């Protein structure tokens, strides 16, 4: 898998918008504009998935994304000022959001530490299902790790929530934030080793899904 991401364009500044006069017509136009913008953004992300599905070895360029998405290069830059790395980060966030939605659907079936285990397992499954695209977007995220909170965002916050819920049923060896931090260190260590080709997919799943138990053991030893 040699899918490379290169950028030949600099982000274009978005034009300033004047404040509209409050009115029902204005509110309707604003809502329609927001909906169209969201749809445009999703078409761009979908185009990246389509390009990857067609040829995982292709060199990804802004002009190709714009062509497949049916928009201008300026539109791509307006949605993603960081260009290719920003697009991959958005795809990674979507992957985590899918795991969060799946967790919320059936979280009440689980108790104690099975809650964070279930969420981390779902997150690992979503990365695994994304395949080559997941590997590339993880690699690209390293390029802007200093400019972005990913992966310390929604996934981390949800993991903290899972440990908070687990504490209602189990005696935890540390705080929810400490446990979530150690869990994420191991989980994303597994993700990056997988992206670098040091772990195959099966070992990635096994390693990533053991993150909660490793965090628990680590804090139990330090007690």
Q: Quick: pLDDT tens for 78-128.
A: 998 878 878 887 888 888 899 999 999 999 999 999 999 999 999 999 999
Q: Is the pLDDT of residue 8 over 50?
A: no
Q: Is the pLDDT of residue 203 over 70?
A: yes
First to last CA, the chain: 44
Q: Report the predicted TM-score, pTM, of the whole model to 2 decimal places.
A: 0.75
The confidence score (pLDDT) of residue 192 equals: 87
Strands (E), the chain: 4-5, 59-60
Residues 112-142, buried b or exposed e (16+ Cβ, 10 A)? ebbbbbbbbbbbbbbbeebeebbbbbbbbbe
User: By C-alpha distance, which of 210, 199, 41 is closest to 134?
Assistant: 199
Q: Is the pLDDT of residue 3 over 90?
A: no
Of residues 16 and 137, which shows the higher confidence score?
A: 137
Q: Is the pLDDT of residue 141 over 80?
A: no
Separation between Cα atoms, residue 223 and residue 218, nearest integer Å: 9
User: By C-alpha distance, which of 221, 141, 154 is closest to 184?
Assistant: 154
DSSP state at residue 71 = S
User: By C-alpha distance, which of 88, 89, 81 is closest to 51?
Assistant: 88
The confidence score (pLDDT) of residue 52 equals: 76
The confidence score (pLDDT) of residue 2 equals: 44
- What percent of the chain clears pLDDT 90, i.e. is strictly above it? 49
- What percent of the chain clears pLDDT 70, i.e. is strictly above it? 80
8 A C-beta contact, residue 77 and residue 62: yes
8 A C-beta contact, residue 130 and residue 97: no
Instruction: Provide the pLDDT confidence category of residue 16 given band limits of 50, 70 and 90.
Output: very low
Specify the range with the lowest mean pLDDT, choosing from 66-70, 80-84, 186-190. Answer: 80-84
Of residues 177 and 192, which shows the higher confidence score?
A: 177
Mean pLDDT of 199-211: 95
């Amino acid at each position: 898998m040699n899918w490379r991401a290169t950028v030949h364009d600099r982000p274009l500044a978005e034009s300033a918008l004047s404040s509209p006069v409050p009115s029902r017509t204005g509110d309707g136009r604003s809502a329609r504009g927001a909906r169209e913008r969201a749809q445009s953004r999703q078409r761009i992300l979908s185009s990246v998935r389509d390009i990857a599905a067609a040829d995982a070895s292709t060199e990804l360029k802004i002009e190709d994304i714009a062509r497949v998405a049916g928009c201008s290069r300026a539109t791509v830059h307006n949605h993603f000022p960081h260009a290719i790395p920003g697009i991959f980060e958005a795809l990674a966030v979507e992957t985590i959001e899918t795991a969060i939605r799946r967790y919320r659907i059936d979280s009440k079936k689980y108790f104690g530490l099975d809650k964070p285990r279930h969420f981390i397992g779902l997150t690992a499954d979503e990365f695994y299902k994304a395949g080559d695209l997941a590997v590339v977007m993880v690699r690209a995220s390293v390029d802007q790790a200093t400019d972005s909170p990913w992966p310390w965002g929604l996934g981390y916050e949800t993991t903290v929530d899972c440990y908070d819920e687990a504490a209602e049923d189990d005696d935890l060896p540390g705080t929810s934030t400490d446990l979530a931090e150690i869990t994420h260190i191991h989980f994303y260590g597994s993700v990056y080793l997988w992206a670098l080709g040091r772990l195959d997919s099966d070992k990635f799943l096994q390693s990533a899904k053991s993150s909660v138990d490793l965090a628990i053991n680590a804090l139990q030893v330090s007690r």
